[in-house]
Amino acid sequence: MDWRDEGILLTARRHGESTAIVEVLTLAHGRHAGVVRGGAGRRLAPVLQPGSRLSLEWSARIEEHIGTFRVDPIGAQTAAAIMADAAALATLGAVTSLIVATLPERDAHPDLYQRSRELIEALGTKLDWTARYAAWEMALLAELGFGLDLRTCAVTAAHDDLVWVSPRSGRAVSRAAGAPWADRLLPLPTFLRDGWNSPPKPADVAAGLALTGFFLEERVAPGLPRETLPAARARAVAAISRMVSSGR
């Protein structure tokens, strides 16, 4: 049993003297684990860093086995650039931790893979990377079956002036329809619904992360082993907040 694919390294841990056990998010084979012989050695250890994009060959006698990987880097390794930016590094940790905690093994999620790849390439380098991360969390919710419906107002079916989200239904609510219950609704930043041409304002990004964080906590966390999100997610949000408050 064997296959070839490309993937993003999520975790790597030493196993024995020179071997590493890794988890990757692959384009066609989903979240997958395997053994990398020599993965703890001088040649491969720098390659096996979270966020690195890899060419992978996986083989096993039968599909149910953990199997072994042969790995080669694809292009420049983004992790080195991210290391210089504390907020970007924390966000990379949130991305990899959320994928490991929430995605079932060996189920393909090609759209989320592509979004994850683009986000990691943008971390610390693109001006809008914090907005991209909030949008990535929205995409993760959708992949897990908890996507928000932001197309029309839940009350009036209107398409315009949608400024809130119902915490109960996950549907958008217009300004007029939601006014009487504004204190019970979640703010909907425009960029999460309509996209953006320039980096959204820090307050809008904060509102976006609060929105996705609410639904991750309410709908995803209860199904996780400890019924809680990875701590890396909270660290990333705090790091982004510090970055913004410092004027970066």
d(CA 248, CA 232): 21
Q: State the pLDDT confidence band at 79, using cuts at 50, 70 and 90.
A: low
Residues of each domain in the chain carrying CATH 2.40.50.140? 2-75
| Beta-carbon contacts of residue 204 (< 8 Å; ≥ 6 apart) | 131, 189, 190, 191
pTM of the model: 0.94
List pLDDT tens digits, range 131-149: 999 999 999 999 999 999 9
CATH of domain 80-150+188-245: 1.20.1440
List pLDDT tens digits, range 5-40: 999 999 999 988 889 999 999 999 999 999 999 998
pLDDT value, residue 41: 87
d(CA 50, CA 11): 6
Q: Is the pLDDT of residue 77 over 60?
A: no
Tell me which amino acid residue 141 is.
L
Residues of each domain in the chain carrying CATH 1.20.1440? 80-150+188-245
Q: Is the pLDDT of residue 246 over 80?
A: no
Dihedral in degrees, nearest 10, Cα atoms 95, 101, 102, 106 = 100
pLDDT value, residue 223: 96
CATH classification for the domain delimited by 2-75, as one of 2.120.10.30, 3.55.40.20, 1.10.10.10, 2.40.50.140? 2.40.50.140
